[in-house]
Structure formats: C-alpha cells, structure tokens
Amino acid sequence: MEFTQSNRSAQLIQTPAKCDLCEAETKIEWKCLNCNMLMCFKCKDKIHVKFKFAKDHIIIDVKDVGVYPEEMDFSELNCAEHPSQSAVMFCTPCDRLVCTSCISKFHNGHSFIEISEGYNIKMKIIKSDHNKANEKMNELTKRKRELSHVHIKDCAKYNELINNIEPDTSTVFGILLCPDNSLWIYDANVLQKVKPEGDKLTVESTFNINVLGMAITPTGDLLLYSGGSVLKEISGKTGTVTDSIYSVSPLYLTHVHVTKGGKVIVGVTSGLILYLEKGRRAVILMNKEGKHKTIYEHDKNNIQIFTRPYKIASTDNGNICIVDKLSEDFSGIVVLLSQDGNILHIYNGHREVNTEKKPFKPIRIVTTPSNKLVVPEFNILIFYILNNCGHLIT
C-alpha cells in the first residue's frame, strides 16, 4: 500500500492523552464527538454535563476511537518513482502518491485529491477490511468447532472419496467457475463440465478438444480457442459447440478474457510463429456483438507495445492488464493500459529477485475482488501483488 510504504518518512506524533477538561487525568474513558474532547470519568459526570445542550451530545467509549491523538505530517513523503522529489498529491485512479513529475509524465488527466484525504480514505478501507476479517475469523472459528467431531476413520473410504472428486483428466491446465457454480476443467486434450454434489464432482459433459485458453461470459457461455482466428462457444444452456461471433481473421488468437461487463478482450498475432520479428501483435477489445471497438497495438510514438500478448485481465476501473512474453524462456513483462490505450505502467519484476541472469517470468495474471492484480512467476514460488495501475504492493 502506498501509504504504508511511505510512512517511514511520515512523522507520527503521539503523546499520552490527557483529559481535555481537567488536563491532569491520563486515564481517559470517554470522548464527546460534538465537543471533540477526551474526558476522564469524573469530568464526564461532573463538568461536561453542565455544558449547554450537553444532553444532546454524542459521547462514546474511547476504545472505539483509540486513546492516543494522532497527527500525521505528510510534508516529508518522497515519491516512490522519483525518490528525490516530494509527493504532492494522491492519484485516485492509480491508488498512489505522486510528485509533479509523475503528474506531467504518467498521470496526465487523472483525478487527484489531497494526500491527507487519500490517507483518510485508506484508513476507512483498512478499518472496514479489519472488521470483515474479524467477522470471517469468527465464522471460521465457529465452523471449526462444528467440524471438530468429524474424523476420517476408514482409510479405504478416504481414498475412495479422493478418487471420486478427481475428474477424468490427466493434468489439469485450467479451471473456470460458472455462474451456476458448475466448473469447466481442461487438460491438453479433454474439456469437462462438472458439478459439485456433496463430496463428489459429477461430470455433466465431456469434449475431446484441444483447449489453449478459455473464458466465461456473464450469461454462462464458454468461449475458448484452440488456435486459429475464431473463438469457439459452448452454450451454457444446451452444451452445443459453435463458432462464435468473435473473429480476428486474418490474425491468430493468443488469449481470451471476458470483462465483468461482458466485453471480450483477445490477444492476437499475425502468424503462428511464437515470437515474430515483424508483423502484428496486438490486443483487441470487442463488444457483445463481436465488433472490434479498440485495437491496442502501438504507443503514442507509433512503437509496437507487445511481443506476444500471453495472458490478459481487467480491473473495475477499465484498465487492461497484459502479460507480454518476450522469449521462449518465459521471460516477460506486465503491461497496464488505460481504456484509451495509454501505457500506465510496465512492471518488469522485483529488483531484489529478478536480475539479468534471473529475468522476470510472469505466467498468469488474475484480478482479485478488491481490484488487486496477482502475478505468479514461472517455476518460482513467488506471487507479485500489484495495484490496479500495475505498481507493486507486495
């Protein structure tokens, strides 16, 4: 998080709280929200009650607000991109602090708020997430107690259970969840739709088809590609396989992604050779009717953006996230584009992990419900967490 990374520079001034009325007692128990006063028990009952309209004031336990008054000094925050410059604003679309250079070079046209306002927004989110985490922990604790009496007594029955929940695929390459909670599972040659029923997965349909990638539409239809220029579609209702309305001919598909709004985004190249020195390499945004709405191919200087668009994801604010493979050894970068095609950021790995001898090798990109990006790296047990503008969080 931007603020937590920069808090080393922020000066948090903390002094033991005293009663604002008697200015002597440090055992604070109450706060009046109307007067903005911290009070000891004695002053609350003896002095504050004499204030005009005191009976209408809202008084809360200090445990709900903390017993240390905090004052944040944001004047010494340095910009993460330009450490020699001070951060001056908070960019709301990119969720990060920015300096004047950032604003002119990378964030032109974005909306900004004061750093203090951005800090307050972040604190509200943290408190909300904390409350949700506590609720989840309580729920899991309750569930654990309910299941504590359950034991697997028969090893043979346990092995039978494991066999029953494994579909007839040799190596699972991908799993997708449908709106009706069924699952699409595929390996190199077999695609299956399965339905969880108790402790088993019931196979509803099986297709002998080579799947290179797939995505689910909001209506539950499956879009997939097996090479070529046209996405195939399997109806979520009837299970019939047809050529879809989504075509990129004469180009070739490299990936498919469906946004929450139902728009289809595909990666394309102009040839079957994986890494072309010449030719087209692009990302195409299509609407629900299959029309090509936007083609992302060149930057503002007319230089090709991609080498091979390999994996695609999207965020709620409309940014498009692409894993671009640079060579056959899986080395690559993560490119973040705005809806209008501006390159917001290019992430090329962590300087303490990735070097010239150990290049960054992203193999997937997934958007979380909180609009963060998760990028695993090939053959390394590392996940990079990026914000919705492609900057590293952790």
Among 307, 305, 299, 313, which Cα is nearest to 331's? 307
Claim to verify: residue 280 and residue 368 sit in the same structural domain: yes
Residue 148, in any domain of the structure: no
Among 251, 259, 268, 209, which Cα is nearest to 233's? 209
CB distance 284 to 323 below 8 Å = no
Query: Widest CA span of the chain, in angstroms?
Result: 84
Share of the chain above pLDDT 70, in %: 84
Claim to verify: residue 186 and residue 95 sit in the same structural domain: no
Region 226-237 average pLDDT: 90
CATH number, residue 222: 2.120.10.30
Q: What is the pLDDT of residues 76-98, one digit of tens each?
A: 788 888 888 888 888 887 888 88
Claim to verify: residue 180 and residue 97 sit in the same structural domain: no
pLDDT of residue 187: 80
**Backbone Cα Rg of the chain:** 27
For the question of whether the overall pTM of this predicted structure is more than 0.85, the answer is no
Residue 311, in any domain of the structure: yes
Higher pLDDT, 25 or 181: 181
pLDDT of residue 356: 84
Region 362-372 average pLDDT: 89
Among 224, 248, 226, which Cα is nearest to 234's? 224
Residue 124, in any domain of the structure: no
* Separation between Cα atoms, residue 265 and residue 142, nearest integer Å: 42
CB distance 282 to 306 below 8 Å = yes
Among 12, 4, 6, 34, which Cα is nearest to 123's? 4
For residue 182, what are its two tokens? 């069924």
pLDDT of residue 333: 94
For residue 150, what are its two tokens? 């359950």
DSSP label at residue 254: E
pLDDT of residue 229: 93
* Separation between Cα atoms, residue 282 and residue 268, nearest integer Å: 5
Residue 374, in any domain of the structure: yes
CATH number, residue 75: 3.30.160.60
pLDDT of residue 71: 52
For the ranges 14-23, 116-125, 271-280, 362-371, which has the lowest average pLDDT? 271-280
Q: Please say if the pLDDT value at position 118 is more than 80.
A: yes
pLDDT confidence tier of residue 233, bands split at 50, 70 and 90: very high
Q: How far is CA 279 from CA 95, 272, 361, in A?
A: 36, 11, 24
pLDDT confidence tier of residue 24, bands split at 50, 70 and 90: confident
184-213 in b/e burial notation, b at 16+ Cβ within 10 A? bbbbeebbbbbeeeeeebeeeeebeeebbb
Region 40-64 average pLDDT: 83
Of 118, 153, 179, the one marking the end of a domain is 118
pLDDT of residue 176: 86
Claim to verify: residue 280 and residue 185 sit in the same structural domain: yes
Among 68, 80, 100, 94, which Cα is nearest to 8's? 80
Q: What is the pLDDT of residues 188-203, one digit of tens each?
A: 688 989 888 877 888 8
pLDDT of residue 290: 92
pLDDT confidence tier of residue 162, bands split at 50, 70 and 90: very low
Q: What is the pLDDT of residues 235-273, one digit of tens each?
A: 988 989 999 999 999 999 999 999 988 999 999 998 765
Residue 97, in any domain of the structure: yes
Among 366, 262, 261, which Cα is nearest to 313's? 366
Helix H, strand E, coil C: the string for 32-53 is ECCCCEEECHHHHHHCHHHCCC
User: Strand, coil or helix: what is 170?
Assistant: coil
Q: How high does pLDDT run on average in the chain?
A: 81
Higher pLDDT, 156 or 182: 182
Element (H, E) at 159: helix 155-164
Question: How many domains does the chain fold into?
Answer: 2
Residue 52, in any domain of the structure: yes
Q: Where are the alpha helices (DSSP H) in 34-150?
A: 41-46, 100-105, 115-147
Region 129-153 average pLDDT: 70
* Separation between Cα atoms, residue 270 and residue 277, nearest integer Å: 11
The amino acid at residue 227 is G
pLDDT of residue 11: 44
362 exposed, middle or buried (CB, 10 Å; 0-12, 13-18, 19+)?
Answer: buried
For residue 76, what are its two tokens? 């010494």
pLDDT of residue 2: 52
Claim to verify: residue 102 and residue 192 sit in the same structural domain: no
**Domain range for 25:** 2-118
Residue 135, in any domain of the structure: no
* Separation between Cα atoms, residue 333 and residue 326, nearest integer Å: 8
Q: What is the pLDDT of residues 283-329, one digit of tens each?
A: 999 998 999 999 999 988 899 999 999 999 999 888 999 999 988 88
